[in-house]
Structure 1
């Protein structure tokens, strides 16, 4: 079997496609034959050493969190899953490895994949769907009829947030790059703004919830946009964002920790045709290192990129 892994923290040049062997399954662990995996910025940030103090220096380390696949074997104590089940979810953050032909996860990180949902589509959902849900529902407490500003709406989390907000009946303003303006103009948004342009002065104090999907807003810009009774939500784990959430009731920092109950709600929305993450590129495992390097360099398209296993 092969997977993408690295033998030291660093840039794209440390990635290797190599043979590997998985250990025996422990309690509540599940071996999954990966069919598709989606790429998130966190994948290369972990490889860069973003959490190296927690993850340590035991190498090689594998890459990839989000996947969809088929259960191949179950360890002691596993309930609710059996070999042959189609599933989607994540591998543990401290033990990545979804960019692989097979991976080990735990039963609290996966749910059953409906037959109507393809493996590539299912693989796009876990991180972006759960993160957007937690940001809007838990962090922003968004309700029907409220005004929402989404900064960076064309990315995976932004697309997910837009879909969730539409199901809630929010009044949505999005800020995207020039290449995405036309597509969002056809989606029924209240306003579609170009992020290369300054924020219009007439937006001061306009929004009940401001969601910055990629850290592009300054704290001053968030305060400018948010009503006095509103709240700004960040998911970029900077010291500033975490600190502001501790000292201000108008700022919330949200972590996209997987919840299978939330993921199931996202899947239900997808089955109802209310939640779709566009797939911008699909590559094989042998082509994935080049794609990850390209994404890391900033060459991104709306939606998500997927690795399809042979």
Structure 2
């Protein structure tokens, strides 16, 4: 089998295609023959060494987390999936390995692929979809959400989840793309250099998807009792998140039920989701 891996931290030049022996799936694991894989910021940040405190310094290191493919084999204790199932999922955080012909992943992070999605479409969902779903989980009908970076992968998904949950959505993006944001359902669109004072205390949730919104600006946007969610954690942000206050740094977790909501296997032939909170478009 072949996979993309690297032998030292660095830029794209450290990536190489190498032979490897895929491990047999252990207890509660599945081995998947990869048909498509998706790249996320997490992948290049790990390769650059930005997360070495969590990933360590052992090499070679495999690349890639999000994938779609067909189950090749299952380990002991696996009950939801079987060989031959078309699936999508996420590799383990430390091991990665989705940029390969085969990948081993925990069963809890793998679900059946919706029949109306291509493998390429399905591979793009796990990290982006679950992060957006979990970041907006506490939104209630009638509330207001501000998505900083509303046209990024997580931003687009978060805007759809928030609207499906009955919230109004505002957001920021690059000025030339404001019409595209409105077509997505973002009612109020501003550029990245907007003045937060003009939108003071209007939002129950401020979601910062690129992790670049100053805390003071996010706090200005927030209603009393609201929450600020940042999905690009740093050590400083994690410390702030542990302190009393509205700020929360988060990383999307591979929860089976959430992944099934993001990519329901019972989607209709037209791609529509059956329950509020699911992504309804392709």
2:242 corresponds to which of 246, 249, 259:
246
Which residue is equivalent to 1:18?
18
2:223 corresponds to which of 227, 235, 246:
227
Structure 1 segment 160-171 matched on structure 2, within 5 A: 160-171=157-168
Question: CA–CA distance in 2 between the matches of 1:185 and 1:54?
Answer: 38
Question: CA–CA distance in 1 between the matches of 2:152 and 2:120?
Answer: 17
Which residue is equivalent to 1:237?
233
Which is worse superposed, 71-80 or 84-93?
71-80
Q: CA deviation at 1:46?
A: 1.1
Which residue is equivalent to 2:153?
156
Matched, 1:2 2:6: no
Matched, 1:146 2:143: yes
Q: Secondary structure at the match of 2:156?
A: helix
Root mean square deviation, CA, Å: 1.9
Contact preservation (8 Å) 2:3, 2:97: yes
Question: What TM-score results when the alignment is normalised by the length of structure 1?
Answer: 0.83
Question: CA–CA distance in 2 between the matches of 1:248 and 1:233?
Answer: 14
Q: CA deviation at 1:266?
A: 1.1
Q: Secondary structure at the match of 2:57?
A: coil
CA spacing shift, 1:81–1:60, aligned 2, 3 Å? same
Contact preservation (8 Å) 2:196, 2:217: no
Contact preservation (8 Å) 1:125, 1:277: no
Q: Secondary structure at the match of 1:186?
A: helix
Q: Secondary structure at the match of 1:94?
A: coil
Q: Secondary structure at the match of 2:263?
A: helix
Question: CA–CA distance in 1 between the matches of 2:77 and 2:238?
Answer: 37
Structure 2 unaligned blocks of 5 or more: none
Aligned residue pairs, count:
274
Structure 1 segment 1-310 matched on structure 2, within 5 A: 1-137=1-137, 141-195=138-192, 197-199=193-195, 201-268=197-264, 271-273=271-273, 275=279
Which residue is equivalent to 1:288?
none
Question: CA–CA distance in 2 between the matches of 1:215 and 1:277?
Answer: 26
Question: CA–CA distance in 1 between the matches of 2:23 and 2:235?
Answer: 37
Question: What TM-score results when the alignment is normalised by the length of structure 2?
Answer: 0.91
Contact preservation (8 Å) 1:134, 1:254: no
Question: CA–CA distance in 2 between the matches of 1:199 and 1:76?
Answer: 56
Q: CA deviation at 1:85?
A: 0.7
